[in-house]
Structure 1
């Protein structure tokens, strides 16, 4: 990895990087119940959840193939619950997205994550988030609740900008918000297929892969997806990114 003093900003991925999902069945089951309750369905909650899952599959295929993401209203009114009362669904679409994501696990900051964020901010780096996910409100709410919003100068979510990594435009958008060039930025992420090619195409100066505890399969690096560094403990970022002078 090149000397870090040339870099001014750090972008973090969320899922599997800055946050990980704990597969706690009672928590996930509660979210499935809430999902059905909020939607106002007459179906048993597990049957309703399976309906949403079945409809989410073609949505995800579209999102991955087009590098696009729907906002909450379009996601639920067009893709997931087009046969439900659109007035009601528009009113509750943000909460539906939140509960659907909670049905996949309870998300927590990775061990050492908050410490790294605070320290890098103190060291003079501009910090941003670039994340592919459904749901427009969950991340801003979480950052505020955890007191981390003060450290981030930009939060770029696919559900808000309607672009998904690996498209380079999402990195361009984040760089403009931070007022830096792509070459001055470090990307910290966990998915070599999604995160590395797009960041490299956008000209991001340094790509660091976090060997996330969520990863279930070994990865094989190629010239296209090879990162500049791999870390196994989030705190190792502090060794790679010294204070700015």
Structure 2
């Protein structure tokens, strides 16, 4: 009989679109905003999502830098979308609340994510979350998806600079009480979860569900968290040995 041996003491996950299906919630939220406006009825949800992500990218740096309050960040991105989508006479904060209601109703874990966290903890491996948004929002996602009991440490932009700042990786390693060579980072962002993590001395696994090509051959790629055993072997870099 073979047993699997790993020297990995902690697995650190990104949250949005790694463990939490942020794309699914965003699509639902945007449909909640668009639904009352009949001229948007023919727009594909993925098209709306692409435009929304571009607007997020425009305003997020100012929010992180403290140049926009949370309320301003929320309202202004929808004011910009109103201009793109031809919505008139609706305040940005009203559209945000419509988005938020539908977004929260659609919250769900990425398939296999909960089972993966449970399996890691059962093997004695610590689980950390390193995410580029504020703690109240990210903690609520973990709670809604039933992931919280399986997480040892959560580091957000409320406590540390955003990835790929080196301070973000240092913060989660400290919280988990592990060294960089004892941890692996898993996430969907090549820059934040692969390049930044490797620069911090960690091994990295790219979580890529959409068929993208890996930029470097020595970076493991996980497309799905099922089957569970295959995902565990990739994350933990396990080797087989006789007991």
Which TM class, normalised by the smaller chain length?
Answer: 0.5 to 0.7
Query: Within 1, Cα distance between the matches of 2:11 and 2:27?
Result: 34
Aligned 8 A contact 2:25 2:106 in 1: yes
Q: Unaligned regions of 5+ residues in structure 2, if any?
A: 35-39, 41-51, 77-92
Q: CA deviation at 1:178?
A: 0.8
Helix, strand or coil at the partner of 2:186: strand
Q: Evaluate the alpha carbon distance shift between residue 98 and residue 70 of structure 1 in structure 2; reply closer, same or farther with a 3 A threshold.
A: farther
User: Normalised by the size of structure 1, how large is the TM-score?
Assistant: 0.65
Distance 1:24 1:77 in 2: 19
Checking the alignment, whether the CA contact within 8 Å between 2:29 and 2:100 is kept in structure 1 is no
- Which digits, 9 at most, give the CA deviation of each residue in 1:124-151, with x for residues without a partner? 0110101123x54232123233332121
TM-superposed deviation, 1:7: 1.2
Name the SS for the 1:193 alignment partner.
helix
State the 4+ residue runs in structure 1 displaced beyond 6 angstroms: none
How many residue pairs get aligned? The number is 204
Aligned to 1:150: 149
Matched, 1:69 2:64: yes
- Once the two structures are superposed, the pairs formed by residues 129-208 of structure 1 within 5 Å of their partners are 129-133=129-133, 135-158=134-157, 160-161=158-159, 163-204=161-202, 206-208=203-205
Is the CA contact 1:55–1:80 (under 8 Å) kept in the aligned structure 2?
A: no
- 3-state secondary structure, aligned to 2:184: strand
- Post-superposition offset of 1:195: 1.7
RMSD: 4.3
**1:203 counterpart SS class:** coil
TM-score (norm 2): 0.65
> Would the aligned equivalents of 2:142 and 2:148 in 1 still touch at CA under 8 Å?
yes
Structure 1: 5+ residue stretches without partners: 34-45, 47-52, 82-91
Secondary structure at the counterpart of residue 12 of structure 2: strand
